Copies of this chain bind each other. A is one copy, B any other.
Amino acid sequence: MSENQFFQSAISVNCVVFGFDGKELKLLLIERELEPYKGDWSLPGGLVYPREDLQAAASKVLHSITGMDSIYRAQLKAFAATDRHPFGRVITVAYLCLLRHVEADLTESTFAKTTQWFNVNRRPDLVFDHEKIVSAAVTRLRENIRSRPIAFELLNEKFTLPELQLLYEKVLGKSLDKRNFRRKISYMDFLQDTQEVQKQKMYRPAKLYRFNTELYQEAKQEGYVFSL
Protein backbone atom coordinates (compact mmCIF):
# COMPACT_ATOMS: atom_id res chain seq x y z
CA MET A 1 0.00 0.00 0.00
CA SER A 2 1.25 3.44 -0.87
CA GLU A 3 -1.23 5.22 1.32
CA ASN A 4 1.28 7.73 2.63
CA GLN A 5 0.65 10.04 -0.26
CA PHE A 6 -2.97 10.18 0.89
CA PHE A 7 -2.48 10.61 4.63
CA GLN A 8 -1.28 14.21 4.38
CA SER A 9 -4.47 16.19 4.81
CA ALA A 10 -5.90 17.94 7.81
CA ILE A 11 -9.49 18.05 9.02
CA SER A 12 -11.07 21.03 10.69
CA VAL A 13 -14.48 21.93 11.99
CA ASN A 14 -16.18 25.28 11.69
CA CYS A 15 -19.23 26.37 13.58
CA VAL A 16 -21.81 28.71 12.14
CA VAL A 17 -23.36 29.86 15.39
CA PHE A 18 -26.70 31.63 15.18
CA GLY A 19 -28.34 33.54 17.98
CA PHE A 20 -31.36 35.77 18.38
CA ASP A 21 -31.36 38.82 20.62
CA GLY A 22 -35.09 39.38 20.40
CA LYS A 23 -34.68 41.72 17.47
CA GLU A 24 -32.21 40.37 14.92
CA LEU A 25 -30.71 37.08 13.84
CA LYS A 26 -27.13 37.09 15.01
CA LEU A 27 -23.95 35.34 13.98
CA LEU A 28 -21.04 34.66 16.30
CA LEU A 29 -17.63 35.50 14.86
CA ILE A 30 -14.12 35.61 16.21
CA GLU A 31 -11.15 37.81 15.55
CA ARG A 32 -8.38 35.32 14.87
CA GLU A 33 -5.52 35.09 17.31
CA LEU A 34 -3.57 32.61 15.19
CA GLU A 35 -2.14 32.48 11.70
CA PRO A 36 -3.20 32.35 8.99
CA TYR A 37 -5.17 35.59 8.70
CA LYS A 38 -4.38 36.61 12.28
CA GLY A 39 -6.53 39.58 13.26
CA ASP A 40 -9.19 38.97 10.63
CA TRP A 41 -12.73 37.83 11.30
CA SER A 42 -13.64 34.20 10.86
CA LEU A 43 -16.01 31.51 11.95
CA PRO A 44 -15.01 29.80 15.16
CA GLY A 45 -13.36 26.51 14.39
CA GLY A 46 -10.21 24.53 14.67
CA LEU A 47 -8.16 21.65 13.41
CA VAL A 48 -9.23 18.20 14.50
CA TYR A 49 -6.73 15.83 16.05
CA PRO A 50 -6.29 12.54 14.17
CA ARG A 51 -8.01 10.61 16.96
CA GLU A 52 -10.62 13.22 17.74
CA ASP A 53 -14.29 12.88 16.93
CA LEU A 54 -15.78 15.68 14.83
CA GLN A 55 -18.78 16.31 17.04
CA ALA A 56 -16.48 16.44 20.04
CA ALA A 57 -14.22 18.89 18.26
CA ALA A 58 -17.21 21.10 17.45
CA SER A 59 -18.36 20.92 21.07
CA LYS A 60 -14.90 21.90 22.24
CA VAL A 61 -14.90 24.93 19.96
CA LEU A 62 -18.35 25.95 21.13
CA HIS A 63 -17.49 25.51 24.77
CA SER A 64 -14.28 27.45 24.47
CA ILE A 65 -15.98 30.55 23.09
CA THR A 66 -19.30 30.52 24.93
CA GLY A 67 -18.71 28.52 28.09
CA MET A 68 -21.79 26.50 27.17
CA ASP A 69 -22.27 22.76 26.69
CA SER A 70 -24.84 20.74 24.81
CA ILE A 71 -25.47 23.32 22.15
CA TYR A 72 -27.62 22.31 19.20
CA ARG A 73 -25.46 21.45 16.20
CA ALA A 74 -26.15 19.70 12.93
CA GLN A 75 -23.67 18.90 10.23
CA LEU A 76 -24.06 21.36 7.40
CA LYS A 77 -21.63 20.33 4.73
CA ALA A 78 -18.00 19.58 4.04
CA PHE A 79 -15.96 22.26 2.29
CA ALA A 80 -12.87 20.95 0.62
CA ALA A 81 -11.60 23.19 -2.18
CA THR A 82 -7.94 22.40 -2.68
CA ASP A 83 -6.89 26.01 -2.28
CA ARG A 84 -9.07 26.92 0.66
CA HIS A 85 -6.24 26.89 3.22
CA PRO A 86 -2.75 28.30 2.65
CA PHE A 87 -1.03 25.67 4.83
CA GLY A 88 -2.09 22.67 2.80
CA ARG A 89 -5.09 20.48 2.20
CA VAL A 90 -7.57 21.16 4.94
CA ILE A 91 -11.06 19.81 4.58
CA THR A 92 -13.49 21.47 6.91
CA VAL A 93 -16.80 20.16 8.12
CA ALA A 94 -19.18 22.97 8.92
CA TYR A 95 -21.78 22.70 11.66
CA LEU A 96 -24.92 24.74 11.95
CA CYS A 97 -25.24 25.67 15.62
CA LEU A 98 -28.08 27.32 17.50
CA LEU A 99 -27.94 28.68 21.00
CA ARG A 100 -29.68 30.94 23.45
CA HIS A 101 -28.00 34.24 22.89
CA VAL A 102 -28.19 35.39 26.49
CA GLU A 103 -26.57 32.28 27.91
CA ALA A 104 -23.32 32.71 26.02
CA ASP A 105 -20.46 34.16 28.01
CA LEU A 106 -18.14 35.59 25.41
CA THR A 107 -15.48 36.51 27.94
CA GLU A 108 -14.66 32.81 28.16
CA SER A 109 -13.00 32.78 24.75
CA THR A 110 -9.60 31.14 24.79
CA PHE A 111 -8.45 30.99 21.19
CA ALA A 112 -9.89 34.23 19.90
CA LYS A 113 -8.73 37.79 20.43
CA THR A 114 -12.36 38.82 20.54
CA THR A 115 -15.64 37.04 20.09
CA GLN A 116 -18.61 39.04 18.98
CA TRP A 117 -22.19 38.81 17.79
CA PHE A 118 -22.98 40.41 14.43
CA ASN A 119 -26.22 40.90 12.62
CA VAL A 120 -26.20 38.16 10.01
CA ASN A 121 -26.71 40.75 7.29
CA ARG A 122 -24.13 43.20 8.56
CA ARG A 123 -21.10 41.08 9.16
CA PRO A 124 -17.48 41.81 8.38
CA ASP A 125 -15.72 40.07 5.49
CA LEU A 126 -14.66 36.61 6.49
CA VAL A 127 -11.47 34.69 5.79
CA PHE A 128 -10.97 31.41 3.89
CA ASP A 129 -14.22 30.27 2.26
CA HIS A 130 -16.24 31.25 5.30
CA GLU A 131 -18.56 33.48 3.27
CA LYS A 132 -19.68 30.40 1.35
CA ILE A 133 -20.12 28.47 4.55
CA VAL A 134 -22.26 31.19 6.10
CA SER A 135 -24.39 31.44 2.96
CA ALA A 136 -24.98 27.71 2.98
CA ALA A 137 -25.85 27.82 6.68
CA VAL A 138 -28.33 30.65 6.25
CA THR A 139 -30.00 28.74 3.42
CA ARG A 140 -30.13 25.57 5.46
CA LEU A 141 -31.54 27.36 8.48
CA ARG A 142 -34.21 28.92 6.29
CA GLU A 143 -35.16 25.52 4.88
CA ASN A 144 -35.14 23.70 8.18
CA ILE A 145 -36.89 26.19 10.43
CA ARG A 146 -40.12 25.54 8.57
CA SER A 147 -40.01 21.77 8.88
CA ARG A 148 -38.28 21.20 12.21
CA PRO A 149 -38.80 22.65 15.67
CA ILE A 150 -35.37 24.27 15.86
CA ALA A 151 -36.41 27.87 16.44
CA PHE A 152 -36.82 27.00 20.12
CA GLU A 153 -33.08 26.40 20.37
CA LEU A 154 -32.66 30.13 19.80
CA LEU A 155 -35.24 31.29 22.33
CA ASN A 156 -35.33 31.18 26.09
CA GLU A 157 -37.01 28.18 27.61
CA LYS A 158 -40.04 30.39 28.11
CA PHE A 159 -40.82 32.64 25.19
CA THR A 160 -43.68 34.67 23.82
CA LEU A 161 -45.44 34.22 20.51
CA PRO A 162 -44.43 37.68 19.25
CA GLU A 163 -40.80 36.68 19.87
CA LEU A 164 -41.25 33.43 18.03
CA GLN A 165 -42.95 35.10 15.11
CA LEU A 166 -40.31 37.79 14.83
CA LEU A 167 -37.61 35.12 14.78
CA TYR A 168 -39.38 33.38 11.91
CA GLU A 169 -39.70 36.66 10.08
CA LYS A 170 -36.01 37.43 10.47
CA VAL A 171 -34.94 33.99 9.32
CA LEU A 172 -37.35 33.80 6.40
CA GLY A 173 -36.82 37.42 5.45
CA LYS A 174 -40.49 38.23 5.14
CA SER A 175 -43.30 39.28 7.40
CA LEU A 176 -45.95 36.82 8.45
CA ASP A 177 -49.61 37.25 9.28
CA LYS A 178 -50.03 37.27 13.03
CA ARG A 179 -53.39 35.51 13.13
CA ASN A 180 -52.42 32.80 10.66
CA PHE A 181 -49.15 32.23 12.47
CA ARG A 182 -50.86 31.91 15.82
CA ARG A 183 -53.54 29.61 14.48
CA LYS A 184 -50.89 27.11 13.39
CA ILE A 185 -49.23 27.42 16.78
CA SER A 186 -52.51 26.73 18.53
CA TYR A 187 -52.69 23.30 16.87
CA MET A 188 -49.32 22.36 18.35
CA ASP A 189 -50.12 20.74 21.66
CA PHE A 190 -46.43 20.56 22.49
CA LEU A 191 -46.32 24.35 22.72
CA GLN A 192 -47.69 24.94 26.16
CA ASP A 193 -49.02 28.05 27.76
CA THR A 194 -47.11 28.41 31.03
CA GLN A 195 -49.77 30.63 32.63
CA GLU A 196 -47.07 33.20 33.13
CA VAL A 197 -46.59 36.48 31.37
CA GLN A 198 -43.54 38.39 30.25
CA LYS A 199 -42.07 40.92 32.65
CA GLN A 200 -43.95 44.12 32.21
CA LYS A 201 -43.09 46.67 29.64
CA MET A 202 -45.28 49.71 29.24
CA TYR A 203 -47.99 47.83 27.42
CA ARG A 204 -49.91 44.59 27.53
CA PRO A 205 -47.62 41.71 28.59
CA ALA A 206 -47.39 38.64 26.39
CA LYS A 207 -48.06 35.11 27.58
CA LEU A 208 -45.10 32.83 27.99
CA TYR A 209 -45.01 29.49 26.21
CA ARG A 210 -42.76 26.48 26.51
CA PHE A 211 -41.71 23.87 23.95
CA ASN A 212 -42.40 20.46 25.46
CA THR A 213 -39.87 18.09 23.93
CA GLU A 214 -41.51 14.93 25.24
CA LEU A 215 -44.91 15.82 23.83
CA TYR A 216 -43.31 16.73 20.52
CA GLN A 217 -41.48 13.40 20.34
CA GLU A 218 -44.70 11.53 21.07
CA ALA A 219 -46.56 13.38 18.34
CA LYS A 220 -43.68 12.75 15.95
CA GLN A 221 -43.79 9.01 16.68
CA GLU A 222 -47.42 9.04 15.75
CA GLY A 223 -46.71 10.57 12.38
CA TYR A 224 -47.05 14.27 13.13
CA VAL A 225 -44.95 16.45 10.84
CA PHE A 226 -43.88 19.87 12.07
CA SER A 227 -44.64 22.68 9.67
CA LEU A 228 -44.70 26.43 10.06
Contact = CB atoms under 8 A, between A and B. Distances in A.
A162 interface: no
A7 B91 CA distance: 11
Contacts of A51: 82, 89
A82 B52 contact: yes
A50 B93 contact: no
Interface string A127-148: 0000000000000000000000
Interface string A52-87: 111000000000000000000001011011100001
Interface stretch (A8-16, A106-114, A214-222): A8-16
Interface residues of A, number: 29
A187 interface: no
Stoichiometry (number of copies): 2
Contacts of A1: 35, 87
Contacts of A49: 5-6
A47 B80 contact: no
A10 B7 contact: yes
27 contacts: A3-B10, A3-B87, A5-B50, A6-B47, A6-B48, A7-B8, A7-B10, A7-B88, A7-B89, A8-B8, A8-B50, A9-B10, A9-B50, A11-B89, A51-B82, A52-B82, A53-B80, A53-B81, A53-B82, A75-B77, A75-B78, A77-B77, A78-B78, A78-B91, A80-B93, A91-B91, A91-B93
Interface of A: 1, 3, 5-11, 35, 47-54, 75, 77-78, 80-82, 87-89, 91, 93
